[in-house]
Amino acid sequence: MTADPEGAAPHPGPNPSGPKRRAVAPDKRTRQPTEVRRRLILEAAVPLVSEHGAGRVGLRDIARAAGVSVGTVTYHFAGVKEIISEAVSIEIDGYYRPLGERMLSLPTATEGLEALVEGVFNAETDRHWRLWFDSWASSATLAPDSHQHRRYEHWSDRVAELITRGRDSGEFRCPDVDETTIRFNAMVDGLALRRLRGAPPLSLEQARSHLRRFLASELGLAQRP
């Protein structure tokens, strides 16, 4: 592994329509611990991929956004694919963890279920879904990598925990929690993809309405008017 060329200036983006963030001047940079620099690069990559798509973001774009040299990026990562994979893992963790904590902390499982529905489809979640699906589309396989897979499994466990809580309290009727959890996640993924494609259009309220009807059927709940 070569030395980290921290002082080298990043090259400009590959095309005029690329990201325009100004690089940090060499005399303004300070040497930071390895994990800090890695995190800085990953956090810079998330909005770039979300806005432009994984296939249109290169090393120079990420370096410019992070305010480091291209050499520093390649010192810490094997390439764009690795950066995007780890950036998506950060996004997944930042999206699912607080939602899981919130829905499980509410007084009843029914309230937690509504927090879940509102949490997976709201004005803030489109970026998450765009990043998630784009990372799949840009890879050789549609399966998430090991980091993403573990986080996805953790999220499924939280959903199952909420459903189990409601079943045990008598709020829900659910003969097979695991199967309901699988169907729930599949429906969320499908609705999210439909919403991003926009053909035909699917509003946030429509997505939530479809999800509520599904859960009402699966869990024996009265449907909202």
Q: Which domains does the chain have, with CATH numbers?
A: 1-77 (1.10.10.60), 84-219 (1.10.357.10)
| Structure token pair of residue 23 | 């690089």
Mean of all residue pLDDT scores within the chain: 82
C-alpha neighbours within 13 Å on the C-beta side of residue 122: 10
Query: Coil, helix or strand for 14?
Result: coil
Q: Is the pLDDT score of 180 beyond 80?
A: yes
pLDDT in tens, 126-159: 877 877 777 666 655 545 567 667 878 899 999 9
The answer to whether 113 and 166 are in contact (CB under 8 A) is yes
| Structure token pair of residue 15 | 């095309």
First-residue to last-residue Cα distance in the chain: 62
Interatomic CA distance for residues 174 and 155, integer angstroms: 19
